[in-house]
């Protein structure tokens, strides 16, 4: 989205929210617009407005997915690993009732990976590829899966190597 278009959308959203402060759809639109902003401030603003939307519509999967995405972005921007855990929790709840939702499944696998829950992420990527083999995101999912499997394999290999003796450490 171009900057002028985003500014125009934000102005329209702000105008609608002045008269409809508790309208979940406009709150969600505001959160999505904030996600398009660069950096941590956009993700912070998105979290604030999407948390309000979620309180108003706690069973709205779309709002929950956007909120989880906001946490993932903030976690990346401000190096806050606990945000990835929040995203995993939110998406896990949504996935329990929307297990056939491609976006939820994909974002859940991303959140697990970012939370360093590698084994669970591998399973989530496998589940995604099993359910959605023709998805436009399938190549990316395959890349994530291959990368994680390689990392896990390397960790296993290193952990199985014998420890060095004191003499080997000195040399």
pLDDT tens digits, 75-118: 999 999 999 999 999 999 999 999 899 999 999 999 999 999 99
Cβ of 160: how many Cβ atoms within 10 Å?
A: 7
pLDDT in tens, 12-38: 787 778 888 888 998 999 999 998 887
Pairwise CA distance, residues 25 & 17, whole Å: 10
Q: So what's the pLDDT on residue 5?
A: 79
pLDDT band at 65 (very low <50, low <70, confident <90, very high): very high
Buried/exposed code over 20-29 (b: 16+ C-beta within 10 A; e: otherwise): eeeebebbbb
Residue 170 has pLDDT above 80, yes or no: no
Q: So what's the pLDDT on residue 62?
A: 96
Residue 134 has pLDDT above 60, yes or no: yes
Averaged pLDDT score across all residues of the chain: 91
Write down the domain spans for the chain.
Answer: 3-119
Domain 3-119 coded CATH 3.40.50.300: no
Q: What's the pTM value of the predicted model, to 2 decimals?
A: 0.86
Nearest to 70 by CA among 93, 37, 94, 99: 37
Residue 132 has pLDDT above 70, yes or no: yes
pLDDT band at 41 (very low <50, low <70, confident <90, very high): confident
* 161 compared with 120, residue with greater pLDDT: 120
- Residue 95 exposed, middle or buried by CB count within 10 Å (0-12, 13-18, 19+): buried
Q: So what's the pLDDT on residue 13?
A: 80
């Amino acid at each position: 989205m171009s900057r002028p278009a985003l500014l125009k959308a934000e102005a329209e959203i702000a105008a609608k929210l002045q008269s409809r402060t508790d309208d979940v759809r406009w709150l969600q639109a505001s959160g999505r617009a904030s996600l398009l902003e660069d950096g941590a401030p956009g993700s912070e603003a998105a979290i604030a407005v999407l948390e309000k939307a979620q309180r108003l519509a706690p069973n709205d999967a779309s709002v929950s997915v956007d909120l989880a995405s906001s946490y993932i972005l903030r976690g990346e921007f401000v190096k806050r690993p606990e945000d990835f855990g929040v995203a995993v929790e939110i998406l896990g709840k949504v996935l329990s009732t929307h297990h056939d939702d491609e976006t939820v499944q994909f974002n859940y696998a991303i959140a697990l990976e970012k939370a360093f829950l590698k084994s669970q992420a591998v399973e989530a990527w496998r589940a995604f590829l099993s359910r959605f083999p023709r998805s436009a995101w399938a190549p990316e999912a395959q890349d994530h899966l291959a990368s994680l499997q390689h990392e896990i394999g390397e960790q296993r290999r290193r952990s199985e190597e014998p420890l060095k003796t004191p003499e080997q450490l000195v040399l």
